Amino acid sequence: MDKPVIMTVDDDPGVSRSVARDLRRRYGHSYRIVRADTAVAGMESVRQLRLRGDDVAAILADYRMPQMNGVEFLEQAMDLYPYARRVLLTAYADTDAAIQAINVVDLDHYMLKPWDPPEEKFYPVLDALLDAWHRADRRESDELRVVGARWSARSYKIRDFLSRNQVPYRWMLADDPEGAQLLAAAGEGCEISPAKLPLVITSDGTKLTAPTTAELAAAVGLSTAPATDFYDLIVIGGGPGGLGAAVYGASEGLRTVMVEQHASGGQAGQSSRIENYLGFPDGVSGAQLADRARRQALKFGAELLTARKVTSLEVKGQARVVGFADGTGIAAHTVILATGVSYRRLTAPGLDDFVGRGTYYGAAVTEAPECRDREVYIVGAANSAGQGAVYLSGYASRVHLIVRSDGLERSMSHYLIEQISNISNIEVHTGTEVVGAEGDDHLERLTLKGPDGERTVDSEWLFVFIGAEPFTDWLGDTIERDAKGFVLTGPDLTSAENRPRNWPLRREPYHLETNVPGVFAAGDVRADSIKRVASAVGEGAMAVALVHRYLEKA
């Protein structure tokens, strides 16, 4: 098989030769290094590589080139090699442009020139990008295929589950020629009814009609069954807090299992780009961050169970028993609750009828390409809404950000407010809310109420990022919670109002421990926690430290 290509484009011949030299020194044995001295020559090389069927692993382009700048070059190259890792080479004076490019071409990294020594400033970055490229499934003909209806909530649910779990797939409409052919072949002479859509066909030809997430998870190789029935630590929830707990628990020798109902990453995993997380100066998508954490947990030996719904938590002597919806269960010495939160539902009349059919809670990145050249509406004023607006502005003709308050300053980070103000196709509507929705088989119109009264607008796309509701009803009376359902821990439990009758007071309360000894809470599900990705990860790590203290004294 031919070597994959690493391509570099720089209009300064001296720099171009230096970049190619550094690349050949490190990667020449495994990759073919192709360089071009102009953007035009570079695009011609990209087209020729595509025609010959060569695989391109990474493209490095200089920002300042006279015929087209590096951002424009990478944007065009994406059409031919969407899986290639994209790196912008910049001078210090161009870093602002490079940061903006992150949102334009989904840039993987930007690098400042010069980068001597390359062993410290160049190779580690490219090593990580090439590793990610190798792990990505780039097959087109034999990968998993999904055939469904455009405005189908069930089809959206399947696609969202696959995307968030990093499972590559091809999406086809049932009424398109290729989709219709697959339906006919799968039906073996009898037509598959719309009620049985979506149809999922795995790479080995297995057919699933309207599968549940558990059936789909098993079919694509996600782990759904525990390896044993007793552990040192059960982590419930796969968001940043749960992933942090799984990584630290497993790395410190605890028999650890993490249970997630949907997909690793939680609410943060739906973020199109997180730019204020420590250690990622170029930003990172929630899905990328979750994928790295998931692989890290697996490396240390943690079990990660997907598509398992937890329905109960019981105390049986020294064991904490977690029950699943199918009637089975597992037990452990300790449990960390990291179930996070979900976006609160809008109560406007008509909206519930269109969930998954024009109304989406969270970024719904699977829908972004469908919004190309359309007007979309986003409800919310916090970071998640701002990140969604910036991301969707790369596809939509106009993004309308609907904000109930009089501004963004109280709830959104300053860097995001600045980004939004510099993107011409984002319009912020303050003092405005959605009060109604209409349509036939999908969302078609929204009614907005603002300073000038009510008005109706045409829109097939509404993305909602408001508030947070904890997933804790299943805890029943076992775990103390506040009036909003958030789990109470540590000092909050020492007040007479919240303290259970038999709560054993401690001189030094474990700040993350619940009213049940050996059961801890971490991240957004905990009352009064700081709702930030980094805070959730930190609490997950701290909870593991408290698990060790509990086990030593148990």
Are the C-beta atoms of residues 51 and 151 closer than 8 Å to each other? no
User: Residue 65: CB partners within 8 Å, gap ≥ 6?
Assistant: 9, 10, 11, 38, 39, 73
pLDDT at position 217 is: 93
Kindly report the three-state secondary structure assignment for every residue of 340-396.
CEECCCCCCCCHHHHECCCEEECCCHHHHHHHCCCEEEEECCCHHHHHHHHHHCCCC
Q: Quote the CA–CA distance of 237 and 314 in Å, as a whole number.
A: 17
**Domains in the chain, please, with CATH?**
5-135 (3.40.50.2300), 145-220 (3.40.30.10), 230-342+469-552 (3.50.50.60), 351-464 (3.50.50.60)
pLDDT at position 354 is: 95
pLDDT at position 496 is: 45
Q: Quote the CA–CA distance of 104 and 439 in Å, as a whole number.
A: 32
pLDDT at position 118 is: 87
Q: Quote the CA–CA distance of 367 and 156 in Å, as a whole number.
A: 9
pLDDT in tens, the chain (554 residues): 479 999 999 988 888 899 999 999 999 999 999 999 999 999 999 988 887 878 999 999 998 888 888 888 988 888 888 889 999 888 765 666 666 666 666 778 888 887 888 888 899 989 989 988 988 756 544 578 899 998 999 999 999 999 888 888 889 998 888 888 788 777 644 456 667 889 998 877 788 988 999 999 999 989 999 999 999 999 999 999 999 999 999 999 999 999 999 888 887 777 777 888 888 777 787 888 888 899 999 999 999 999 999 999 999 999 999 999 999 999 999 999 999 988 889 999 999 999 999 999 987 777 888 899 999 999 999 998 999 999 899 899 999 999 999 999 999 999 999 999 999 999 999 999 999 999 998 999 999 999 999 999 999 999 999 977 898 999 999 999 999 999 999 877 755 455 544 445 443 445 899 999 999 999 999 998 888 888 999 999 999 999 999 999 87
Prediction pTM value: 0.75
Which strands make up the sheet holding 462-464, listed edge to edge? 359-361, 462-464, 375-379, 398-402, 426-429
pLDDT at position 189 is: 43
pLDDT at position 101 is: 62
CA-nearest of 308, 299, 301, 297 to 245 is: 297
Q: Quote the CA–CA distance of 543 and 330 in Å, as a whole number.
A: 20
Helix (H, G, I), strand (E, B) or coil at 207: strand
